[in-house]
Amino acid sequence: MSVTLPLPDRTISEVADLLASREASARELTDACLARIERDAERLNTFLATDADAARAAADGADAALAHGDLAGRPLLGIPYALKDIFVTRALDDGGRPIDGGLPTTAGSRILEGYRSPYASDAEDRLREAGAILLGKTNCDEFAMGSSNENSAYGPVRNPWDESTVPGGSSGGSSAAVASGQAYFALGTDTGGSIRQPAALTGTVGLKPTYGRVSRYGMVAFASSLDQAGPLTRSVRDAALVLGVLAGHDPRDSTSVEEPVPDYAAALTGDVKGLRLGVPREYFVAGMEPGVETAVRAAIDVLRQLGAQVVDVSLPSTDRGLATYYIIAPAEASANLARYDGVRYGASAGEDELWANYTRTRGEGFGPEVKRRIMLGTYALSAGYYEAYYVKAQQVRTLIKAEFDEVLATVDAIVAPTSPNVAFPIGAKVDDPLAMYLNDACTLPVNIAGLPGISVPCGLSDGKPVGLQVIGRAFDEATVLRVADAYERAAGFADLRPPTATA
Amino acid sequence: MADITRADVEHVADLARLHLTDEELDRMQTQLSRILEAIETLRDVDTSQVGPTASVIQLENVMREDVVRPGISRDAALANAPLRDDPFLRVPTVLEEGR
């Protein structure tokens, strides 16, 4: 256990024990994170909004509850966290007036600059009820579209492991904040890898639950059939803890499923003996960095030594994932982003005529990647191309899902790389959209099939973190967490922290 | 099909209600052509016997009781509007000759 690490760099599980034994207070944890935010947030560009006073007030409330031993039903009581700025946070009262401590929501876009939500996301509601303390909203790629956080209208985030490189994306502010001790956990959203890939690039744990496991209510929509919310943490156990709070049916999201929520922590037995793990050969592709392949193969060996039965499997349509994704996701995005019309909320160009106001508001408000995807999606859905592109992609989606189902009928989980590469220099791929899209080649098939996946640190290549991905059956997050936790305990990378994490 | 013309790009931008500058239209034409070329590899996949998947979860007709519940107040709903004329949103001129 990392008892020698500075307070803000420890895991939730460790500091929760300190809170329970009264060796640390929620106020101390909050102040420790705020000190890191004060020191690093501007340089790393991790946060788009914070409210230190509101966080301290919430911490004092948590300490009062802890003093009364009042922990029932609040597994995250006193734990400071951050929300990706794609989750709305309530910032207006019923009279439409700003609430004290209410945080704005931008989705990383100019078009939502200054937007104050009249309602809270399900994630914000559940985490407040669980006792967690909101520190602020983290930077992200605009509307969660990107793999490097360079598409944020508010500037790129820097990776605390090497500040000349990207932290991954689109949940790059969340990954960098958790890696650098600015929050004990952060929420991200994952449409094609946006939780797992930034987790891999920053040496953190990132969990994308099954589609339908967690409510999407109050998540700014990107691609509604692919989007899922999940945690970025410093241990698999912490990811299990946060998932337990987030998971469950929400009547406000009709795609959230009424499946029972198991005790995820109970699944963390440390034992993988006899589990069958499939290694899909198509995930070790040309163009993968040798250092990544070495680290991932070594991780799979650790699981074998722990008694798992490792078998080769094939997911033949893997290389169709990228094309399928880049039709379906932009198509859904082009429909979802139609709502930014300069009328009800958000920026407005102030034109006198409606049509001109639509086109100029959107032309000025959206950044280059968002425009590209709106164009791509509109094209794929337009008359004459709908069958050839959109329907075709939906058919290939059926094939990709069927291949996963077939493999997962013979193995308990799939193990693979999370990202084909480690963190790359800021600016290296901004002029080549296709090269950028390839970052998610190993993660986006999982969204296409709607399955749960986790990235867990599996060492360093050239001093930069590498992630092992574990993919499971629909609604079997328990097995995914069990495999990742057993690996984490055995591998000895649980205390990996970037150079910034030294107080 | 991947040879997307400048006119195609302008048409799609119009459908998407997106004003693009000349420079953006040029860049979009090049980039969309490259991306569409990569995407068109899907044509090689035989899907003659395959149905489409719109969503991975099979939900139909999610129903709830039709009861009145508290929602977002009118003042809060209007608070972010760029132009308002309480209790309404204001919109720029809708009808214009030729549209």
- Answer yes or no: do A355 and B99 touch at CB < 8 A: yes
C-alpha span between A49 and A44 (Å, rounded): 14
Q: Which of A441, A470, A3 is nearest to A206 (CA)?
A: A470
Minimal CA separation from A309 to chain B, in Å: 29
The tens-digit pLDDT sequence of chain A (503 residues) is 445 899 999 999 999 999 999 999 999 999 999 999 999 999 999 999 999 999 999 999 999 999 998 788 899 999 999 999 999 999 999 999 999 989 999 999 999 999 999 999 999 999 999 999 999 999 999 999 999 999 999 999 999 999 999 999 999 999 999 999 999 999 999 999 999 999 999 999 999 999 999 999 999 999 999 999 999 999 999 999 999 999 999 999 999 999 999 999 999 999 999 999 999 999 997 789 999 999 999 999 999 999 999 999 999 999 999 999 999 999 999 999 999 999 999 999 999 999 999 999 999 999 999 999 999 999 999 999 999 999 999 999 999 999 999 999 999 999 999 999 999 999 999 999 989 999 999 999 999 999 999 999 999 999 999 999 999 999 999 999 999 999 999 999 988 999 877 65
Give the chain A residue whose CA is nearest to the CA of B9. Answer: A375
Q: Is A13 on the interface with B (CB under 8 A)?
A: no
Of the candidates A353, A434, A474, which has its C-beta nearest B93's C-beta? A353
Q: Is A6 on the interface with B (CB under 8 A)?
A: no
- Answer yes or no: do A344 and B36 touch at CB < 8 A: no
Q: Which residues of A are catalytic?
A: 84, 170, 194
Other CB atoms within a 10 A radius of the CB of residue A419 amount to 30
pLDDT tens, A120-133?
Answer: 999 999 999 999 99
Q: Which of A7, A10, A54, A52 is nearest to A34 (CA)?
A: A52
C-alpha span between A257 and B59 (Å, rounded): 9
DSSP 8-state class, residue A228? E
All residues of chain A having their beta carbon less than 8 Å from the beta carbon of residue B8 are 379
- Token look-up 């760029």 returns B82
Minimal CA separation from B18 to chain A, in Å: 4
Put simply, whether the predicted model's pTM sits higher than 0.90 gets the answer yes
Minimal CA separation from B39 to chain A, in Å: 4
C-alpha span between B75 and B79 (Å, rounded): 6
Can you give the three-state secondary structure of chain B, one letter per residue?
Answer: CCCCCHHHHHHHHHHCCCCCCHHHHHHHHHHHHHHHHHHHHHHHCCCCCCCCCCCCCCCCCCCCCCCCCCCCCHHHHHCCCCCEECCEECCCECCCCCC
Give the chain B residue whose CA is nearest to the CA of A399. Answer: B50
Q: Which of A387, A377, A397, A283 is nearest to A334 (CA)?
A: A377
- Answer yes or no: do A360 and B19 touch at CB < 8 A: yes
> What domains can be seen in chain A, in order of their start residue?
7-316+401-491 (3.90.1300.10)
Would the ipTM clear 0.90, i.e. be above it? yes
All residues of chain A having their beta carbon less than 8 Å from the beta carbon of residue B59 are 254-255, 257
Residues 6+ apart with CB under 8 A from B69: none
Q: For residue A100, give the 3-state DSSP assignment.
A: coil
Of the candidates B17, B38, B50, which has its C-beta nearest A398's C-beta? B50
DSSP 8-state class, residue A381? H
All residues of chain A having their beta carbon less than 8 Å from the beta carbon of residue B50 are 395-396, 398-399
Give the chain B residue whose CA is nearest to the CA of A358. Answer: B17
C-alpha span between A396 and B41 (Å, rounded): 11
What percent of chain B is modeled with pLDDT above 70? 94
Nearest 5 degrees, angle CA A172-CA A219-CA A92? 110
Q: State the burial class of residue A352 (Cβ atoms within 10 Å of its Cβ: 0-12, 13-18, 19+).
A: exposed
| Percent of chain A as helix, strand, coil, to the nearest 5 | 40, 15, 45
Most A CBs within 10 Å, among B3, B12, B20, B37, to test the A interface: B12
H or E element at residue A470: strand A464-472
Give the chain B residue whose CA is nearest to the CA of A336. Answer: B16
Question: Residue A502's pLDDT is what?
Answer: 66
Minimal CA separation from B71 to chain A, in Å: 9
- Answer yes or no: do B17 and A392 touch at CB < 8 A: no
DSSP 8-state class, residue A88? -
Question: Residue B2's pLDDT is what?
Answer: 60
C-alpha span between A448 and B42 (Å, rounded): 15
A455: left (phi over 0), alpha (psi -120 to 50) or beta: beta
Nearest 5 degrees, angle CA A55-CA A60-CA A65? 125
Q: Which of A165, A188, A206, A207 is nearest to A498 (CA)?
A: A165
Measured between alpha carbons, how far is residue A295 from residues A200, A299, A422, A434, A490 in Å?
A: 12, 6, 11, 26, 14
Q: State the burial class of residue A312 (Cβ atoms within 10 Å of its Cβ: 0-12, 13-18, 19+).
A: exposed
Q: Is A257 on the interface with B (CB under 8 A)?
A: yes
Q: Is A343 on the interface with B (CB under 8 A)?
A: yes
For chain B, how far is it from start to end, CA to CA, in angstroms? 30
- Answer yes or no: do A399 and B62 touch at CB < 8 A: no
What percent of chain B is modeled with pLDDT above 90? 77
C-alpha span between A57 and A36 (Å, rounded): 18
Beta bridge partners of A49: A137
Q: Which of A441, A341, A488, A497 is nearest to A4 (CA)?
A: A497
CATH architecture of the domain formed by B6-44: Orthogonal Bundle (1.10)
Q: At how many degrees (to 10) do helices A477-491 and A236-246 cross? A: 160
Q: Which of A82, A65, A71, A73 is nearest to A30 (CA)?
A: A82
Question: Residue B1's pLDDT is what?
Answer: 47
All residues of chain B having their beta carbon less than 8 Å from the beta carbon of residue A356 are 92
Are A278 and A453 contacting, i.e. CB atoms less than 8 angstroms apart?
no
Q: Tokens in use for A103?
A: 């945080």
- Answer yes or no: do B75 and A334 touch at CB < 8 A: no
Minimal CA separation from B38 to chain A, in Å: 7
Give the chain B residue whose CA is nearest to the CA of A390. Answer: B52
The 10 Å CB-count burial string (b at 16+, else e) for B29-64 is: bebbbebbebbeebeebebeebeebeebeeeeeeee
C-alpha span between A445 and A434 (Å, rounded): 16
Question: Residue B90's pLDDT is what?
Answer: 93
Round the average pLDDT of chain A to a whole number and report it: 96
Q: Which of A259, A286, A280, A199 is nearest to A445 (CA)?
A: A280
Minimal CA separation from A320 to chain B, in Å: 7
C-alpha span between B53 and B74 (Å, rounded): 38
- Answer yes or no: do A212 and B79 touch at CB < 8 A: no
DSSP state letters, A259-300: -----GGGG--S--TT-EEEEEGGGS-TT--HHHHHHHHHHH
Give the chain A residue whose CA is nearest to the CA of B64. Answer: A251
